[in-house]
Copies of this chain bind each other. A is one copy, B any other.
Amino acid sequence: MPRRLSILGSTGSIGVNALKVVENLIGEFELVCISGHKNAQLLVEQAQRYRPQVVAVTDLESARYVERKLAGSGIDIVTGLQGLLEVSRRKDIDLLLNALVGSAGMEPTIAAARAGVDIALSNKESLVMAGDIIKKLCTDSGSNIYPVDSEHSAIWQCLAGENKADIDRLILTGSGGPFRTRPVKDFAQITVSDALQHPNWSMGKKITIDSATMMNKGLEVIEAYWLFDVGAEQIEIVIHPQSIIHSMVKFRDGSLKAQLGLPDMKIPIQYALTYPRHLASNWEDIDLITMGTLTFEAPDYHKFPCLRLAFEALKSGGSSPAVLNVANEQAVYRFLGGEIRFTDIPVMIEGALAKHDWIAEPELAHIKYLESWVTTFITDYRSS
């Protein structure tokens, strides 16, 4: 029996790779829904090629285009956030891949967790912003979360067959991004196009900037905290510029397990979709011998203050990680828009964290209120 699968964010980098995985594993999946936002043309092409039952379009202008193009196709179209949530809480699917970008991914994750649907989670913002809420919903509903991020997939794979009590610590590896070796005194001059050059991974714009500031690694620390239920002090970052070791687990007896592979998101996506199996694929093969050398460095918290801010937000808990995430997202969009400098990003985030009204156990309504407060705060922020 094929697994009934929906993909939120099918036109993004993860979504496109997920469809390649589905196409490669003939007979394993039945595609129930795909979704897109503004890339209406690609969404229509995907609908015509993969024939899902439903297409969800959140951007309303795009929705009109998609409705026109798919008229008479027999494919249902749902629109807006409501349409996305409707699709997310369908109980007749086996797995929801949430590959939405940014905080927009949070509510669909909550809807699926409440409905007891298993979630392949690429949208790390879901757990960063609402980890406590989502984990409680999963416990109540029996919904499982399968990580898609290469780092969390690595840790998850290393933990297969192991006992949580035996974990000493989780070691998240990071490439260090494009500015690992650039002197910090030159950081204020970093341009958008500098920051969009990632050395190893080809990804969307938002996550590429997050790699450059290393906030991406910080968000991953918070995500790992919720996914693997360890203490913040049990999560460590190691810089590994080659991006071959995707992350590691150290056990209490001194044994380390690592997961390795080429920097190809199809591998962790496929694992999340086919867990607990490693089904045969025909992606490019890793060859350790031609690859040469693997190196490791300590992360530089001075050069990358976003890393420090993420650990501080995690330790502070409550509403802080949500504020961190929204502030980062808004600051990144302002940077991408040419409005602020690269070095303003952490300054703005630190400002939002310091100024917001901290709440110990935020509910969804609080988080949504904070989201709007932080958005205004960052929009109004004038860099010095």
| Docked complex Cα distance between A171 and B245 (Å) | 16
A236 to chain B, nearest CB (A): 10
**Are B238 and A252 within 8 A (Cβ)?**
no
Is A297 interfacial (CB-CB < 8 Å)? yes
Interface string of A72-102 (1 = CB under 8 A from B): 0000000000000000000000000000000
A100 to chain B, nearest CB (A): 24
A157 to chain B, nearest CB (A): 6
A29 to chain B, nearest CB (A): 15
**Are B254 and A257 within 8 A (Cβ)?**
no
**Are B161 and A277 within 8 A (Cβ)?**
no
| Docked complex Cα distance between A294 and B254 (Å) | 18
Contact of A257 among B258, B276, B279, B289 (CB under 8 A): B258
Is A286 interfacial (CB-CB < 8 Å)? yes
Which chain B residues border A162 with CB–CB below 8 Å?
Answer: 160-161, 276, 278
**Are A163 and B277 within 8 A (Cβ)?**
yes
| Docked complex Cα distance between A324 and B27 (Å) | 47
* Chain B residue at minimum C-beta to C-beta distance from A163: B277
Count A-side interface residues using an 8 Å CB cutoff.
50
Which chain B residues border A271 with CB–CB below 8 Å?
Answer: 253, 255
**Are B294 and A298 within 8 A (Cβ)?**
no
Is A365 interfacial (CB-CB < 8 Å)? no
| Docked complex Cα distance between A284 and B254 (Å) | 8
* Chain B residue at minimum C-beta to C-beta distance from A274: B253
**Are B277 and A166 within 8 A (Cβ)?**
yes
Is A192 interfacial (CB-CB < 8 Å)? no
**Are A296 and B292 within 8 A (Cβ)?**
yes
Which chain B residues border A260 with CB–CB below 8 Å?
Answer: 248, 255-258
| Docked complex Cα distance between A371 and B297 (Å) | 51
* Chain B residue at minimum C-beta to C-beta distance from A165: B277
Is A285 interfacial (CB-CB < 8 Å)? yes
Is A288 interfacial (CB-CB < 8 Å)? yes
Interface residues of A (CB under 8 A from B): 157-163, 166, 171, 238, 245, 248, 250-262, 264, 267, 270-271, 274, 276-281, 283-286, 288-289, 291-298
